[in-house]
């Protein structure tokens, strides 16, 4: 009897041990799940084959990129090699080879299709002095481009390509931009292919950077690199807000300070070049200077309330209108001016040959004079505004 009890106890022990092993290693044999989700709260990724949740559209720029990207193009330029004066001398070539023969020059930039007729807006420095210009669309099509006109003073150029069914960008209202607005920069940096970067409007109305004659830049921290010049700066709706034109950099790459020419400026240049073949600007012949606090106090004006005239060109439009050195111009054509760049832009916007009012402050008091602007000549010295 004792031996039977011992055998029974050993059998039960073996069975319990086997049951423990099965329950631990193969619970499904006992109809139990191996998951511990009901015990320990965890976040599990959806299993393969399950459709992921849609990305929140409010946090994505996909619609803006999709709307604007097709109209942003890459621009390749080339300039033929230039032979030196001695390259035809056989003795020179015998001793020095072909060193006098320079290598062909190539360039890379971006542009924006702004019209179904094939007009492309880009920077003047992208196509300047190029012998051949090729435009490459985002869909892979290529076309030789013709230069319709350039405006070096704003660093803008208009090209034309002969293709059909062109994607066209929508022009936005750059004057409505505010600091902090989100923007995208689209272009072909370093030739790697079309790239979209994002950032915000860091500042507006940047001037006195020494880049262009007429400066009113949008500053952004969206990454802009070499090759982005002439590309698009767009808002979150994909509307064109500016033409990317320059960066501030100590390394040659983006450091978070980029500049774009506002669409308002680009539109005026586009219309003028397509209509007249050139941009016509007003000129009155004065030497302006920003109003210092000391000068402002002597005139009884607030600092920044105008621009003081330090010189007047003899027999120029301003001299004929009665403007004298020491005058403070506070408004041009009814628009207030407080800095030299603002005065320059306001005068340039005047129609040559058409009289316009200038609000002037002198020590004797305030008056308004009528000035008839001449046509601005880019060959004139910058001192003659």
Q: Which domains does the chain have, with CATH numbers?
A: 174-276 (2.40.10.10), 282-375 (2.30.42.10)
When mean pLDDT is compared across 79-93, 230-244, 265-279, the lowest value belongs to 79-93
Confidence category of residue 163, pLDDT binned at 50, 70, 90: very high
CA distances from 219 to 152, 202, 232, 240, 246 (A): 20, 5, 13, 15, 10
Confidence category of residue 8, pLDDT binned at 50, 70, 90: low
- The three-class DSSP label of residue 104 is coil
Each residue's pLDDT tens digit, 120-160? 999 999 998 888 999 999 989 999 999 999 998 889 999 99
pLDDT given for residue 31 in this prediction: 58
Confidence category of residue 241, pLDDT binned at 50, 70, 90: very high
Q: How many CA atoms lie within 13 A of 52 on its CB side?
A: 6
User: What mean pLDDT do residues 353-376 have?
Assistant: 88
Between CA 343 and CA 383 the distance in angstroms is 13
- Which of 69, 74, 110, 125 is labelled catalytic? 125
For the chain, what percent of residues have pLDDT higher than 70? 76
- Which of 155, 235, 290, 327 is labelled catalytic? 155
pLDDT given for residue 219 in this prediction: 92
Between CA 154 and CA 270 the distance in angstroms is 11
pLDDT given for residue 85 in this prediction: 55
Between CA 219 and CA 260 the distance in angstroms is 7
Q: Compute how many other C-beta atoms are within 10 angstroms of the C-beta atom of residue 313.
A: 20
Q: Is residue 179 over pLDDT 90?
A: yes
pLDDT given for residue 34 in this prediction: 46
pLDDT given for residue 124 in this prediction: 92
- Which of 174, 229, 345, 356 is labelled catalytic? 229
When mean pLDDT is compared across 2-11, 109-118, 138-147, 301-310, the lowest value belongs to 2-11
Confidence category of residue 378, pLDDT binned at 50, 70, 90: low
pLDDT given for residue 298 in this prediction: 76
Strands (E) across the chain are located at: 72-79, 105-113, 119-123, 132-136, 142-151, 156-161, 182-187, 195-206, 217-220, 232-234, 240-247, 258-262, 282-283, 286-290, 307-312, 328-332, 335-336, 356-362, 365-371, 374-375
Q: Is residue 383 over pLDDT 80?
A: no
Between CA 378 and CA 360 the distance in angstroms is 26
Is 155 annotated in the active site?
A: yes
């Amino acid at each position: 009897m004792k031996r039977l009890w011992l055998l029974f106890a050993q059998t039960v022990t073996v069975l319990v041990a086997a049951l423990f092993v099965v329950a631990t290693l193969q619970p499904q044999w006992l109809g139990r799940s191996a998951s511990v989700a009901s015990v320990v709260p965890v976040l599990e990724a959806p299993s393969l084959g399950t459709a992921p949740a849609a990305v929140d559209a409010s946090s994505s720029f996909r619609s803006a990129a999709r709307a604007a990207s097709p109209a942003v193009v890459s621009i390749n330029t080339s300039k033929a090699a230039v032979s030196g004066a001695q390259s035809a001398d056989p003795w020179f070539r015998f001793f020095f080879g072909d060193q006098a023969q320079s290598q062909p020059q190539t360039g890379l930039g971006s542009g924006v299709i702004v019209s179904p007729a094939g007009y492309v807006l880009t920077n003047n420095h992208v196509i300047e002095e190029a012998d051949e210009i090729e435009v490459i669309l985002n869909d892979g099509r290529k076309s030789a481009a013709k230069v319709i006109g350039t405006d070096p003073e704003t660093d803008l150029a208009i090209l034309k390509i002969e293709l059909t069914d062109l994607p066209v960008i929508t022009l936005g209202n750059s004057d409505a931009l505010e600091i902090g607005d989100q923007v995208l920069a689209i272009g072909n940096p370093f030739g790697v292919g079309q790239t979209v970067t994002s950032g915000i409007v860091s500042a507006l109305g940047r001037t006195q950077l020494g880049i262009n004659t007429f400066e009113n830049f949008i500053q952004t921290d969206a990454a802009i690199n070499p090759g982005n010049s002439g590309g698009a700066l767009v808002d979150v709706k994909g509307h064109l807000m500016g033409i990317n034109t320059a960066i501030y950099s100590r390394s040659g790459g983006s450091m978070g300070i980029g500049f774009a020419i506002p669409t308002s400026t680009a539109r005026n240049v586009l219309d003028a070049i397509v209509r007249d073949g050139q941009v016509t600007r007003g000129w009155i012949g004065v030497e302006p200077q920003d109003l210092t606090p000391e000068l402002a106090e002597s005139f009884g004006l607030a600092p920044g309330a105008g621009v003081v005239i330090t010189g007047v060109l003899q027999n120029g439009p301003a001299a004929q209108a009665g403007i004298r050195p020491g005058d403070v111009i506070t408004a041009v054509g009814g628009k207030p001016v407080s800095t030299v760049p603002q005065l320059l832009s306001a005068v340039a916007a005047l129609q040559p040959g058409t009289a316009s009012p200038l609000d002037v402050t002198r020590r004797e008091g305030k008056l308004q004079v009528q000035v008839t602007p001449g046509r601005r000549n880019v060959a004139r010295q910058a001192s003659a505004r």
